[in-house]
Structure 1
């Protein structure tokens, strides 16, 4: 199996564009509100001015200049939001080539009877490590000792008696022990097959086998099955 690791920077751009788009949309709403308020105040001021003491032309010119600046900022933010939407679509198109490949991420994955490849990350100070498997209800269904030196583990999906577990979504975590005491483990990442790439708002997510969704920027490696 060919593994691509780490994932290219294009995988991180969807999440970044999503955060930027959210901030831009919030700023645009605030500016649009200020713009409307400013316009109403300026109109009311012109309508109710004293004909004998009209608004000073210099002051009025300054207010009109401010009005123009706010209007331009609103238009600029609208344009930026549209560009970010286009970027999300472009990111999804660029990830279309990932469909059919296997992605590694810290996420539950679907088990269909085929062994699942897991990348555990036991604590460096650990002298023991266990792979803990939970079903979709969060119930622990298996706990097995693993080597603290292994880069990857194959979970066969069978119980201690050799009977296969039911097809479904399972989550995996590693428990590390040092002198019998728990120590923090790193992220436990799992490989799953990508079936679809889609946009959600301004972000791109990958749909894995079984319907599990993973943000594109959460993928740390790709490989051909």
Structure 2
């Protein structure tokens, strides 16, 4: 489920600080009432020691200052979170490239890229469904560097893939027969924003993507029609 951007964070932070300050005010009023009563009823021959009261007044002032500083800090944190959420919402409708093997198969295609650290003698690409079963297998480019793989939904055994999310597996070996670790990137359109975990996560057909894993962003193409 895609949650709406929370625009009440600043209000919540300020309310907590206001509650703390109101409690401090009540405590201070109680303290002044007790102090006044004691001063009115003190023995003139043995007056009360005012050093203790002075120290308590200083402590009240210090606590009030700390509450004000805490309120300012909470407001700054809430503002930063709000800015992050608004910034993440700006990705909706854009096509992104992100670190990960899961990509959506929509509108008849799924798109990935993979990076080989060095030349390989063989590269096998496998498209896996949600159960981890390979539905399509093919050979991939073997030279070092970045390669794209566009899948049209064809299956080795079947009439064609159903819309959904699929994963790409890359099995690469070098001339010595040793495995090469390929970096896999996925490509898809951002369809929403999820805030349920606190961190804004981009939703790509239900695949949740952190903005920290983004490798590229492409804005939607604008079509100008003749009037």
TM-score, length of structure 2 as denominator length: 0.63
Q: Match for residue 120 of structure 2?
A: 126
Residue 171 of structure 1 deviates from its aligned partner by 0.9
Does 2:187 match 1:194? no
Q: Match for residue 104 of structure 2?
A: 110
Is contact 1:130-1:143 (8 Å) kept?
A: yes
Q: Cα deviations across residues 113-139 of structure 1 (Å, max 9, x unaligned)?
A: 623222111232533222232111233
Alignment of 1:65-214 (within 5 A): 65-95=61-91, 98-99=92-93, 101-107=94-100, 108-112=102-106, 114-124=108-118, 126-149=120-143, 151-160=147-156, 163-178=159-174, 179-186=176-183, 188-197=184-193, 199-200=195-196, 203-209=199-205, 211-214=206-209
User: Which one scores higher on RCO, CA 8 angstroms, separation ≥ 6?
Assistant: 1
Is contact 2:141-2:147 (8 Å) kept?
A: no
Distance 1:151 1:140 in 2: 20
Q: Cα deviations across residues 177-219 of structure 1 (Å, max 9, x unaligned)?
A: 2222223222x1122123334545654333223x323233432
Q: Cα deviations across residues 68-127 of structure 1 (Å, max 9, x unaligned)?
A: 3321222112312331243134314533xx51x322123412213623222111232533
Distance 1:163 1:189 in 2: 27
TM-score, length of structure 1 as denominator length: 0.64
Distance 2:213 2:53 in 1: 57
Aligned length: 194
Distance 2:167 2:108 in 1: 15
Residue 60 of structure 1 deviates from its aligned partner by 3.0
Q: Which moved more, 1:120-129 or 1:165-174?
A: 120-129
Computing the radius of gyration from Cα coordinates, the structure with the larger value is 2
Is contact 1:133-1:140 (8 Å) kept?
A: yes
Residue 155 of structure 1 deviates from its aligned partner by 1.9
Distance 1:93 1:193 in 2: 13
Q: Cα deviations across residues 31-76 of structure 1 (Å, max 9, x unaligned)?
A: x99xx89x98xx89x979x974455355334423431332122211
Distance 2:142 2:34 in 1: 79
Is contact 1:113-1:157 (8 Å) kept?
A: no
1:216 paired residue among 200, 211, 220 = 211
Is contact 1:105-1:191 (8 Å) kept?
A: yes
More helix by share: 1
